[in-house]
Amino acid sequence: MVAINATAPSALAVLQRAQTKPQIETGLKPLQAEVFDPTPKVRFGPGVADAILNVSEQAKPTKLSDLPPEHAEYLRRFGVDAAIRWQPPVVSDEEFQSLVMNFIKENWGNSDRLDLREALTSSTLKIQRASDVEGLRAETIQYDLFKDGHIFGGAGWGTINMEFYNAQAAAGVRQSTGSINGLDYYITW
């Protein structure tokens, strides 16, 4: 049984051109060989084409001199001349809560910390966006790095107000911070 799909006509055309033909000696040789172009002629739909154009428009590196001075200073140590800051995805509060809860259950569900496991099972774990916690000032900063117009790698770091964090711990608040794809969270239990 032979299956025919969208590439079958192209493959058949290649095979037909590849078959040997008897040569008649005429003394004349062709000036130019026939060329088969194997590259597919793909047409994207309007939505895909728009997405590709939007990605290319957004992906223009920024010179280090145009970044916040403290970011540029940190990135210069890598020997790069431009960078693109990653932007976290935009998700609803419900999606955020679900994403963080699933992450915590998957990664910390069997934790040695009995208090955390109890908070997970009793639903007393409180999940907040780090940006919503006044005084915490926690943020994940991530960049793609470029040198002479070519991608060089990536770098990232986090910031947090440790005075706030330590004061919460001293007050008996059980807490943790983290980031999932640039979505910074703060949990307490």
d(CA 179, CA 139): 8
Can you give the pTM of this predicted structure?
0.64
DSSP assignment, residue 133? S
Buried b (16+ CB within 10 A) or exposed e, 138-158: bebbbbbbbeeeeebeebeee
- Per-run averaged pLDDT (10 residues), the chain, 189 residues: 51 55 52 51 60 59 96 96 94 96 88 85 93 97 95 94 97 95 95
> Could you tell me the residue ranges of all domains in the chain?
86-141+151-188
